[in-house]
Amino acid sequence: MLKINVQDEVSRLRAVILGTAKSNGPTPKATDCYDPKSKLHVLAGTYPKEADMVTEMEAVAAVFKKYDVTVYRPKVLENYNQIFSRDIAFCIDDKIIKANILPDREKEYEAIGHVLAQINPENIIELPEECHVEGGDVMPWGDYIFVGTYSGADYPDYITARTNTDAVIALQELFPEKVVKSFELRKDNAQPKENALHLDCCFQPLGQGKAILHKNGFLVDTEYNWLVDFFGKENIFEITKDEMYNMNSNVFSISEDVVISEANFTRLNTWLRANGFTVEEVSYAEIAKQEGLLRCSTMPLIRD
């Protein structure tokens, strides 16, 4: 049996689900894209090719192997995008919570059935239908669960609004001993540089008390300031609008002091190394064109 254990974003990783880019399917139509960034690349003719994305993901798998992490992959579905495993479920403590995702992505969840079969069914949680939530918006952090949300009345108009208030309430009920702290995110269906698709697109806690932040991703200044106070200004790496667009906050921690990051994130990677982190650089620029990066394509199952 797999004993799920995820208390935070940075404890030593032991087991993870890494998505797959195999049989990714043809370039989607612009009208079918879930986010403005993918749409931009479809229209520009620069949408990523499957072979390039497979190569990028295998490089991450190799880093996990180097650090002796058990890696599970989804069953490959034909002509189907299964890169972003964080969208379909997420773990908190000893529970795995199924994300209530867009209905046409249900097959992605079924494709990790071989992993779910190893988990005690009592620890597999499905939230009520009205709770919309995706793993990119949910970050366990010790006594806290940080959740990105959007509660505007125009929520249904935003395909980029992924986690709603009902889900925030449901998580608080599931984990009454934790503080569920929600953050209103800036949503924009058309302008990728003004859109925080998930919380991990504008915020990422790191080991050693550090964090990556992008102020414009937050709709409410006081909520952004709460995070600045929580981590301390001197511990925060503030990213620019372009860096947010390129997904600089979407790195992934293997441990308190080891971070997988994109090779092009020069400013961030220099800062990480200056602050004592080991940075495992990989190329992930093609996958980034779909408004997702390293955290989005990984779903931790066990951290020490």
Q: What is the rounded distance in angstroms from the CA atom of residue 188 to the CA atom of residue 161?
A: 9
pLDDT at 159: 65
pLDDT tens digits, one per residue of 115-171? 999 999 999 999 998 999 989 999 999 999 999 998 877 867 766 667 899 999 999
Superfamily of domain 13-303: L-arginine/glycine Amidinotransferase; Chain A (3.75.10.10)
Tokens of 173: 């009920």
pLDDT, tens digit, for every residue of 3-15?
Answer: 999 999 999 999 9
What count of residues does the chain have?
304
Q: For the whole model, what pTM was predicted?
A: 0.93
* CB count in 10 Å sphere of residue 285: 16
User: Domain coordinates of the chain in residue numbers?
Assistant: 13-303
Q: pLDDT category, 54, cuts 50, 70, 90?
A: very high
Element (H, E) at 114: helix 113-116
Spatial CA neighbour of 148 closest among 104, 158, 67? 158
Task: Write the secondary structure of 205-243 as one string of H (helix), E (strand) and C (coil).
Answer: ECCCCCEEECHHHECCHHHHHHHHHHHCHHHEEECCHHH
Amino acid letter at 74? Answer: P
Report the distance separating Cα 117 and Cα 269, nearest Å.
Answer: 38
Percent of residues, the chain, with pLDDT higher than 70:
96
142: left (phi over 0), alpha (psi -120 to 50) or beta: left
